[in-house]
Amino acid sequence: MLIFLLIFLCITTHILLGSYVAIYFGFGPPDWRTALNQVIDFPRFQDYWSIFRTRISKLPVFRKKNPPSSSVENSHSGSNTTSGKTTPQQTGLNFNSSNSFNKYGEISDRFPNQENSGNEFTSIFTDQETQDWLVQEGHVETFLLKLNLVMLKSGIFSAELDERIRLLRGTMTPDDVHEFLNELKNDCRNYLESQADITEQMKKRLDEFGVLKNLAEEIDYANMEQSAQIETTLNNLDYLDLSNNPEENALRLIKEISSLRLVRNRLRDMQNRTFIHIIFSEKREETIPTQFFIDENSGIYNRIGIEMNISQWWKQKLHEKKQITFALLDFVKFGEANEEHGITVCNQVLKFFSGVLKERFDPQDLIGIYSGNCFLVATISSSPKKTIAEIERIRQRFEKTIFRFRGKETMRLQLTCAITEALGTQSKNDVLAALEKTLVAAKKAGRNHTFYYVPGPLGHSPDKIDAPDFGEEEIKIDLA
């Protein structure tokens, strides 16, 4: 005990002398009162406590080598996973926490209930109120939503055309190629016409973007890039020699559709980010119809819906009252899978994966498509440790999953995951930036694993999670 007391006195004396010298020479706080306030500043203390709590839990003395079945890692071990054929309903578990969080129930008041989303939600194309709002809304950011709808409509058509071409592979005739060629060219021309009309209207009101004018100019540039790609596609299609082997021509059509998909997705993600910047900057988020919060393919939140929900959490200071854990789950080489197997098949995978996440996590948690084929999960119903374990279990399960489609074709996919916690002192933008940084680190390290970032002023780098093998067995999923 005496030794510990002496060590404490030495450390205290060192700190006091160091502080005195720093104040005396002007390198530290101006006076002792300010120094004391800095030391006991509560938000900063929370940050350091969070780091200390996380780091000390990694020490061997606190780590369990073989967690029992009742531990956090196996809290979902009542899995329906079996070898052989498995239906989508058998791939997830109901993770309905006994805590209903009724105290914070108002977070869902304005947003569609994800538990009931899916095929039941009304498509944005058939919802008349939303269509009327688009026509009547006078704010300049509405043009971005109109562009998104034009892209979405063209994307749906391209996916259907891509699938019809693939289904005829091996039996393709010159007449089939000619028909598909004309359909694709007509869609490209219709899209260019609609895009030109909307962007011209937006250019006339560019000054209304105010300080965010540079973002609107970036959108205009991205639209020109997309237009150039469509013009290139039309030029390539004009020079398609129908006398060539029909199978080779079909492959060329598929590649052109894939090129259009890539540039369309980039523009959509950029437009969503710009739209979010504008509505939050102008404080108009309450005016947006909730139909724009839902991804048409999967029925879960899109990027706009994700940002709206997180903003609502921060307004209610939920991040100060609860432990919120954020995760990104990104499919590995999904673009290559789209090219090889088709847009429709990959969209079915995304829809299936959305269902898995909805079954795995509590309805109070947030699930959505963050960008492209990257999913976001934000949990308030469970501890960070539980969330980490569940994300890693999902990653391991998908590594053992075989998707079957078109009778005989198969596909395997992997996930790269990133996780971080939200500190009570962080802004939502800081949390999402840290999450994206963690995902980048995970991808640079080789993909198909989970990285975790400990937030705080010490600036730790993201670390790979050495998770146990959960013993997931190989399963087969038949896509519709």
pLDDT of 287-305, one tens digit each?
888 888 999 889 999 999 9
Task: Mark 245-264 as b/e (b = at least 16 C-beta within 10 Å).
Answer: ebeebbebbbebbbbbbebb
CB distance 309 to 319 below 8 Å: no
Among the listed ranges 75-84, 331-340, 364-373, 394-403, which one has the minimum average pLDDT value? 75-84
Residue 268 has pLDDT above 50, yes or no: yes
Final residue before a domain boundary, out of 278, 293, 308:
293
CB distance 390 to 361 below 8 Å: yes
Same domain, 254 and 352: no
Tell me which amino acid residue 223 is.
N
Among the listed ranges 35-44, 233-242, 448-457, which one has the minimum average pLDDT value? 35-44
Give how many domains the chain has, as a whole number: 3
Same domain, 384 and 355: yes
103-111, Cβ contacts within 8 angstroms, sequence gap of 24 or more: 104/316, 104/318, 104/321, 104/322, 104/364, 104/380, 106/316, 107/309, 107/312, 107/313, 107/316, 107/318, 107/364, 108/364, 110/286, 110/290, 110/312, 111/290, 111/293, 111/301, 111/305, 111/308, 111/309, 111/312
CATH number at residue 134: 1.20.120
Take residue 105 and report the two structure tokens written for it. Answer: 């129930």
Residue 99 has pLDDT above 90, yes or no: no
Same domain, 195 and 101: no
Same domain, 130 and 205: yes
Same domain, 150 and 93: no
Same domain, 104 and 197: no
Q: Which residue has the higher pLDDT, 111 or 156?
A: 156
pLDDT in tens, 323-362: 999 999 999 999 999 999 999 999 999 999 999 999 999 9
Same domain, 182 and 265: yes
Average of per-residue pLDDT values in the chain: 77
Residue 64 has pLDDT above 60, yes or no: no
* Runs of H (alpha helix) within 282-321: 303-315, 318-321
In this prediction, residues 305-311 reach a mean pLDDT of: 95
Take residue 202 and report the two structure tokens written for it. Answer: 């937006």
- In 242-365, DSSP assigns E strands to 324-331
The pLDDT of residue 265 is 87
Residue 381 has pLDDT above 70, yes or no: yes
Collapsing DSSP to helix, strand or coil, 367 comes out as strand
Tell me whether residue 158 is exposed, middle or buried, using C-beta atoms within 10 angstroms of its C-beta: 0 to 12, 13 to 18, 19 or more.
buried
Final residue before a domain boundary, out of 15, 34, 62:
62
Same domain, 171 and 75: no
Same domain, 232 and 307: no
The pLDDT of residue 90 is 31
Same domain, 180 and 202: yes
Torsion on CA atoms 59, 65, 69, 70, rounded to nearest 10: -20
pTM exceeding the 0.85 threshold for the entire prediction: no
Parallel, antiparallel or unpaired: strands 366-371 and 415-422: unpaired
CB distance 417 to 442 below 8 Å: yes
CB distance 368 to 376 below 8 Å: yes
Same domain, 148 and 253: yes
Same domain, 105 and 195: no
pLDDT in tens, 127-182: 677 666 666 656 767 888 888 888 989 999 999 999 999 999 999 999 999 999 99
The pLDDT of residue 203 is 79
Measured CA to CA in angstroms, residue 157 lies from 43, 121, 122, 203 at distances of: 51, 20, 19, 28
CB distance 373 to 449 below 8 Å: no
CATH number at residue 375: 3.30.70.270
Collapsing DSSP to helix, strand or coil, 172 comes out as coil
Domain housing 15 = 2-62
Final residue before a domain boundary, out of 46, 62, 78:
62
